[in-house]
């Protein structure tokens, strides 16, 4: 049995089962009585190389897309962290200003 991939990203669930996908590449060969084994072997090898190239290209494309997505997530995370830091700094400044005003008000009362 092929493992099932499940994920939850931003509230969206993905339920992917690899056994539902047909990832095979087949090509029918006409049967010829005069065809020798070496010609068939060369054709078979050529077909294998083409499928390998497609697979490599798909893998490279998927890897590139994944890299771009990781970069985008990193950028968004950096922005989010910067925003949180800015909010924290403004909160601290506001607390300090409020504490100073309170201190001055208490000094006047004494």
pLDDT at 8 over 80: no
Which residue has better confidence, 81 or 42? 81
Torsional sign, CA 47, 53, 56, 60: negative
Tokens at 94, concatenated:
């506001």
Residue-range domain boundaries for the chain: 43-110
13-72 pLDDT, tens per residue?
544 444 444 444 544 555 555 555 555 555 555 555 555 566 788 889 999 999 999 999
């Amino acid at each position: 049995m092929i493992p099932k991939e499940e994920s939850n990203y931003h509230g969206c669930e993905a339920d992917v089962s690899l056994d539902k996908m047909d990832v095979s590449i087949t090509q029918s060969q006409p049967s010829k009585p005069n065809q020798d084994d070496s010609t068939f072997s060369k054709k078979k090898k050529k077909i294998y190389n083409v499928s390998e190239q497609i697979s490599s290209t798909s893998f490279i494309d998927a890897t590139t897309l994944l890299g771009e997505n990781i970069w985008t997530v990193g950028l968004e995370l950096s922005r989010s962290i910067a925003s949180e830091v800015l909010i924290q700094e403004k909160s601290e400044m506001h607390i300090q200003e409020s504490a100073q005003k309170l201190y001055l008000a208490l000094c006047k009362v004494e």
